């Protein structure tokens, strides 16, 4: 069975920037085929991604977050844990779980940086949608060949 629904999880930390990934995703996949879920931050994405994938309702689950160095913890450790969790959710469920997570080494809350990263999230959202569609096409070909 081919699914035409997609889940899109977005972290609310820096939502003004992260939400742009959904904009890019919707450039290739119609909004009425996407169920959108908000979580507080990146760390909460893997578990929800796994739960959504297990429902069997989605062709893919895309997850967007912006993990920056706030001076309290090493953001690269958090980012690594999140990406590992997303990969494991996909591997454990057989549903593609795609990461649209950015972890800049140098981010300052300036108009300049916000504009750069907002535009980058739009592009990464497009890339995730393209990956989701491509994986779906490949899986359909494999099913037809079987």
Q: Which of 107, 121, 115, 15 is nearest to 69 (CA)?
A: 107
CA–CA separation, 126 and 132 (whole Å)? 10
- Given the residues 5, 20, 74, 139, select the one marked as catalytic: 74
Q: In the structure encoding, which two tokens stand for residue 11, read together?
A: 């972290």
The answer to whether residue 88 is catalytic is no
Q: Which of 145, 71, 142, 129 is nearest to 96 (CA)?
A: 129
- The answer to whether 11 touches 41, Cβ cutoff 8 Å, is yes
Q: Which of 24, 31, 30, 40 is nearest to 98 (CA)?
A: 24
Non-local CB neighbours of 7 within 8 Å, separated by 6+ positions: 34, 35, 37, 49, 52, 53, 57, 58, 60, 61, 62
Task: List active site positions.
Answer: 74
């Amino acid at each position: 069975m081919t699914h035409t629904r997609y889940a899109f999880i977005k972290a609310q930390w820096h939502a003004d920037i992260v939400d742009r990934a959904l904009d890019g995703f919707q450039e290739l996949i119609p909004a009425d085929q996407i169920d959108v879920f908000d979580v507080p931050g990146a760390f909460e994405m893997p578990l929800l991604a796994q739960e959504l994938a297990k429902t069997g309702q989605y062709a893919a689950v895309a997850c967007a977050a912006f993990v920056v160095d706030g001076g309290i913890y090493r953001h690269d450790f958090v980012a690594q844990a999140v990406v590992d969790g997303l990969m494991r959710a996909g591997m454990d469920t057989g549903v593609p779980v795609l990461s649209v997570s950015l972890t800049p080494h140098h981010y300052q809350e300036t108009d300049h940086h916000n504009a750069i990263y907002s535009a980058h999230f739009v592009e990464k959202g497009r890339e995730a949608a393209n990956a989701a569609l491509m994986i779906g096409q490949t899986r359909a070909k494999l099913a037809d060949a079987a």
